[in-house]
Structure 1
Amino acid sequence: MSDLHALFGGTFDPVHFGHLRPVEALAQQTGLARVLLLPNNVPPHRPQPEASPTQRVEMLRCAIQDRPLFAIDTRELQRDTPSWTVATLEALRAERGPQQPLAFIIGQDSLLNLSGWHRWQDLLSFAHLLVCKRPGYPAEMGSPEMQRWLETHLARDVAQLHQQPAGAIWLADTPLVDISATEIRRRRRAGLSCDSLLPAAVIDYIDRAGLYLK
């Protein structure tokens, strides 16, 4: 197997088991060597995070301190422009060279909305797409054109992800973990326990920082 690295972006406000566990299962299935967590600065498709960039990075550090699969890439936090995924992948491809296999992890919900992404047609020029299941989302794309696009690029064999630098889509059979950051923030404000939803070290940091109370 090659040294296949993947990126996984999000606001991580806060990071939780719905982020970590499906990606750990995905890594087992596909032989990922490393997953770079990519906190967004200016997310194009959702409201601004409640926690600051520094706080969100610190929560990620707490979450992965005993998870060697993961590392953190803060490049999107250095930009004050929208966090366009395609621009980040283009930069990483330039750094890694044309032959290094590279992948970007998304959820089924993001796949279904991919045609609304900035320069979405260019994504597969720079990386593979690894798609995790999401509770409550259909397996079919919203239009016949997008469904044909998906089927054209589907990888049938994990080896393809390691042998080609980019261009394939892998629909992963990952566990459905129905946790949302919105629900965690709501539970915090209501004074409810979140112990089963995110790592204990992250909860400890949230408590010390006084996050998600107002």
Structure 2
Amino acid sequence: MKIGIYGGSFNPVHNGHLNIVKYVLNELKLDKIIVIPVGRPSHKADNLELGALRIEMCKAAFENLHNVEVSDIETDKDKISYTINTLKKIIKIYGKKNDFYEIIGEDSAYHFKEWKNYEEILQLSKVVVLRRKGYIGEIQHENMIYLESPFFNVSSTEIREKIKNKIDITNLVPKKVKKIIEKNNLYK
């Protein structure tokens, strides 16, 4: 099986994330993508909404894609999340006989050499890099796959700012995600 692993803050999950998952599934002919909201990020300030709420939003966002699974493998931990540790857990769950594809944005690829055990990540999986405006991934490796993906010009930061400033986000997030944000009074 070809299994994609798509980690991120998903704070909140938005239509760009949804489009990326559909695009990568189709482009690389993956059997499944596991969406993993980060617990405590290793590389940025922890200003995340509760893991349970981000899991709920992701499940709502991806519910109509039968080959997408949302995992709480990181959000149920209070430790810093490192990609290498999560990758090893996923490999243990699904078995080494499968092919694993870590999906990252080019902004992350730009700093990939700073990731904990990045060389081991490249041994255990392929790293799929989605092009992002303003960045150029610096690592060339046989297991790095750069996709000339369409730019999905929306960010969670932008959405949080719009919510804070009472600007409508209807076209930026799935309907059910918007309802969860409103119901829980998030990002105000």
- TM-score interval (norm. to shorter): over 0.9
Provide the rounded CA distance (Å) in 1 between the counterparts of 2:172 and 2:102: 24
Instruction: Find the partner of 1:199 among 155, 165, 174.
Output: 174
Deviations 1:49-91 (A, max 9, x none): 3411111111111111222232111111222211000011122
5+ long unaligned stretches in structure 1: 154-167
Q: Which moved more, 1:64-73 or 1:35-44?
A: 64-73
Instruction: Find the partner of 2:165 among 190, 193, 197.
Output: 190
Provide the rounded CA distance (Å) in 2 between the counterparts of 1:94 and 1:50: 27
Provide the rounded CA distance (Å) in 2 between the counterparts of 1:18 and 1:46: 21
Provide the rounded CA distance (Å) in 1 between the counterparts of 2:173 and 2:131: 19
Provide the rounded CA distance (Å) in 1 between the counterparts of 2:103 and 2:162: 27
Q: C-alpha displacement at 1:173, in angstroms?
A: 2.1
Contact 1:22 1:176 in 2 (8 A): no
Q: C-alpha displacement at 1:132, in angstroms?
A: 1.0
5+ long unaligned stretches in structure 2: none
Structure number with the higher helix fraction is 1
In the superposition, the TM-score normalised over structure 2's length comes to 0.94
1:120-159 matched pairs, under 5 angstroms: 120-138=118-136, 141=138, 146=139, 150=140, 152-153=141-142
Structure number with the higher strand fraction is 2
In the superposition, the TM-score normalised over structure 1's length comes to 0.83
Partner SS state of residue 44, structure 2: coil
Provide the rounded CA distance (Å) in 1 between the counterparts of 2:111 and 2:45: 17
Q: C-alpha displacement at 1:98, in angstroms?
A: 2.6
Identity %: 26
Larger of the two Rg values belongs to structure: 1
Name the counterpart of 1:43.
41
Superposed CA RMSD: 1.4
Q: Number of paired residues?
A: 188
